[in-house]
Structure 1
Amino acid sequence: MSDRKILIAAATVAGTAAALIYLLHRSQRAAVATADELDAEPSSGVASVGVTASASPVSASAAEVTKPVEDTNVTRAAEAQRFKDRGNKRYAGRQYEYAIADYTKAIELVDADDPEAAKFYGNRAQCYSSLEKHPEAERDCDAALRLDPVYVKALVRRATAREKQGKLDLAIVDYTAALPAL
């Protein structure tokens, strides 16, 4: 058997195992799934954002993004949602670095184990992919999947990031795991 056939066979076995694990997690979460778990994104397919201080743009708008949350009756979760919504608009306008900054702020505002944070990471990952920053996109997808193991968009985004980096065997596993939901 050629090396290529061995690789394809190994990827198929790994993909099948990943799909089974995915289905198990999905069936466990199905009982508690709600409409709130749907990711409200613009029709352009908004994704997550993960940014470092050096990657965020410097301007009056960037300064506005990093303003501290004022002590009002607005909850941190609502403020995080506001940043996510603004990030979605910026993503739709192809302002990826600004969107990354908004999603990053949303991530900082929510509790570390809040399932909603998975969407913020997923959206930031999409922005990174749009900027051809595939290692960062993969890292954010990993974070999203730690919070929500059945987040199909994060699986597909990570598969794409891995494919662009030449990690074809890992990309096949992710694509295979996402197949039952597609």
Structure 2
Amino acid sequence: MHGHQIRRAAQVDRTELWSDVKPGSLYGALHRMQVEGVIEAVRTEQEGNRPARTIYALTSAGAAELIDHRDEALRDTKLRHDPVDLALQNVIDLGEDALRAIIVARRKALAEQLDAWLALRELAAPHIRGLEWTTFRHTELRLRTELAWHDELLDQLPKLMANQPTSMTTS
């Protein structure tokens, strides 16, 4: 595929869920991957007056690396730290009302993400096959769990703030 096809495929495959490559840096990433030997330029094509496009293919080393990344992702069970947990440990300078407003806004954003995800699943439903259903469900459950945690936090916030230290220094 050429770069534009790769970008479109990455959008369809939701590459942003497992990669930090943004559309604007795709060509730089392709160049780095070519230098690393995981892809190779196989030919250049030109249609009409459009610029010439380089067609890339996965090398055998690239296919092996892809399998390694897949297998590592399937085995990895490490629960990653959520930055919000650290932030909540350092809210001494925020009053309860200010913190509540932040948490309510976070919850609203997460609810919007869930709504958008469910709409995307509905739109994609005719094209979803096999295990793709489980990936949609996994994301849905993660968002629902985040919403439940935010609801619990908002419910317990007065009690939690009452027990909060009043300064960052501890004895």
Give the shorter-chain TM-score range.
under 0.3
Q: TM-score, normalised by structure 2?
A: 0.26
Larger radius of gyration: 2
Larger strand share, 1 or 2: 2
Q: TM-score, normalised by structure 1?
A: 0.24
- Larger relative contact order (CA 8 Å, sep ≥ 6): 1
